[in-house]
Structure 1
Amino acid sequence: MSEPRTPGQVLREARQKDSLTKRTRVLSVVDQLLADNEPVTFTGVARAANVSHWLVYADGVREHIEAARRRQGRTAANDARTSARTPPGWKVEKQLLREDNRRLREDVERLKAAVRRNLGQQLDQFGAADLGARVDELTTDNRRLQDELAKAQARIEQLASQLKEAEDDLAAARTSIRRLIRTENITSTTP
């Protein structure tokens, strides 16, 4: 038979499990940032994964983030060569979309923080009898905020779709122009 676990062992196992969960969350955030072509930074990863800055610099996690940053650096160098051929208007449009996305994310975080602060203040003010009604109000507010978040995310997706469609149109126009020029060259060189 096994001996009963001591409180220290139970606490150690709980901390190990929590650490593994947080590290897994950090690694998935890094992979998601790479997939979304978002910049991978230590602060950004810590914020997105909702972990401490200490954890993203810990052994085993730091190396993964640094490797992702190096990959992005190589991709950025390749993109710089490619983007030299794209019109400046597209660069501006892309930057504006990124700024909109960043602003929307900040708005969502600001709204979440405001809800948390207000909830804490209001819970301090209410008695036990008022809490049931207050929970209903907060649930309604939560649904409303989730709807706003969904609308903001839908707007982001809509803008990204419009950008993709415009890029596709631009690529098609370039291909058509190349064919037209090639045809003109062939007809002008034949006697």
Structure 2
Amino acid sequence: MNPHGNAHTLVQARRRDSLDKRQRALTALTTLEQQGKKITHTAVARTAGVSTWLTYTEGIREHIEAAQQRQQPSGSRLVDTRTPNTTLRTELELARQEVRNLREEKERMRKAIRQQLGQQLDAFGTKDLTERIDQLTRENQRLQDTLRQATEDNHALHRQVTSLEADLGAARTSLRRMIREENRSLEKIV
């Protein structure tokens, strides 16, 4: 599995899709202009089968504006007669369309990733998975045996420490008695 390769493949596919949409928009613009139809962002988007948002992006917008200028009778200027509310509504609609497109694209990418992960899981055959489970089971058993042995060794050492502590206590008691008896003997002599 190579997650970096998968991401690279998705990025490349997205880039090709974007270039294809841009080319379709430019082709639609040329077609509309040759047919003598009125050039608008919406008309280009519908003809190309792309979002209106794309027609306002850099690299497409300039071509549309140039075609609109060419359509104007000589001596007239392109004047924006739209009201601010109309402009805002248009921008809002463009934003909504972009959101819809992004949601659709996100869902397409999710499906593609799910499918790719499914294919990768299918690539692991049952035999490979069975071998891996057996390997993990053996490793688990080895670790349990090691733990059991370490626990037994710990208990044995604990018993040995308890025994040595008892022996040490007895030796101390015995040493105290000997010191007392020796002191009594010395007192009788003196």
- Please tell me the TM-score bracket, short chain as reference: 0.3 to 0.5
Radius of gyration: which is bigger? Answer: 2
TM-score (norm 1): 0.36
TM-score (norm 2): 0.37
